[in-house]
Amino acid sequence: MKEDYQNILSKIDSDIDKISIDKTTKLIIVSKSQPTSSIRELIKSGYHIYGENYLDEAIKKIEEIDNNNLEWHFIGRIQSNKIKKIAKYFNWVQTISSEKHARLLNEECQKLEKKLNICVQINIDNEESKAGIMINETDEFLNNISRYEYLSLRGIMAIPSKLNALKENVNSYNILKLKYDKLSNKYKNIDTLSLGMSNDYKLALSKGSNMIRIGSLIFGERK
């Protein structure tokens, strides 16, 4: 592994220890567009949680690495015709924003006799370019999908606008933390606020995130 990878990861780990309110915070390494060789080196250094956006690319990596000790998170857009493979290959799906997709995932997981961890994606800043439900739809949406036996409802995920992150506008982060607190009191399995990426993870940690998703800060911007 490149030495700068390790330096950056050590810095991120240190930030988690110093800033995070929740001491169970997880780092997801977003490994999209990265070769399996890079992931193998990271595994050797003790990193076992990876996020992938593109299904076909992810399946090749998962099959090639073939390590049951890893935790794979699907963090891309869900398409109905991809549901069967998503259910088969991933431990977590963080981008649930359709009741239909939740139902289909539950059906596939029932066939596999597998429990799938899920997060509901919230479009916190109402951006047309991003998927997710509106914050005011959250309660009804979670109530509707919480009945699915083979889906473990673990929390909410969001990507605040880059402008808000850049300006450290904390309103969206505060709203998400408040919603998460209310949901975690209502649902026994909810323990995850997936919030914060390369550009805003420190702010997110300071506002209560306990799962951050980082790729470009570690690997550099995609070319």
**Other residues' Cβ atoms within 10 Å of the Cβ of residue 167:** 9
39 lies in which domain range?
Answer: 3-219
Instruction: Decide if 75 contacts 95 (C-beta within 8 A).
Output: yes
pLDDT score recorded for residue 221: 73
Neighbouring-strand partners of residue 207: none
Amino acid (1-letter code) at residue 32: K
pLDDT score recorded for residue 52: 98
Q: Which residues contact 206 (CB under 8 A, 6 or more apart)?
A: 19, 21
The 10s digit of each residue's pLDDT in 70-111 is 999 999 999 999 999 999 999 999 999 999 999 999 999 999
pLDDT band of residue 1 (cuts 50, 70, 90) is: very low
Share of the chain above pLDDT 70, in %: 96
The 10s digit of each residue's pLDDT in 9-54 is 999 999 999 999 888 999 999 999 999 999 999 999 999 999 999 9
SS3 140: helix
The 10s digit of each residue's pLDDT in 135-194 is 999 999 999 999 999 999 999 999 999 876 666 678 999 999 999 999 999 999 999 999
Beta-strand runs (E) in 49-126: 49-52, 71-74, 92-96, 116-122
Q: What's the number of domains the chain is made of?
A: 1
**CATH number of the structural domain spanning residue 54:** 3.20.20.10
Share of the chain above pLDDT 90, in %: 87
Task: Using the predicted structure, report yes or no on whether residue 126 has a pLDDT greater than 60.
Answer: yes
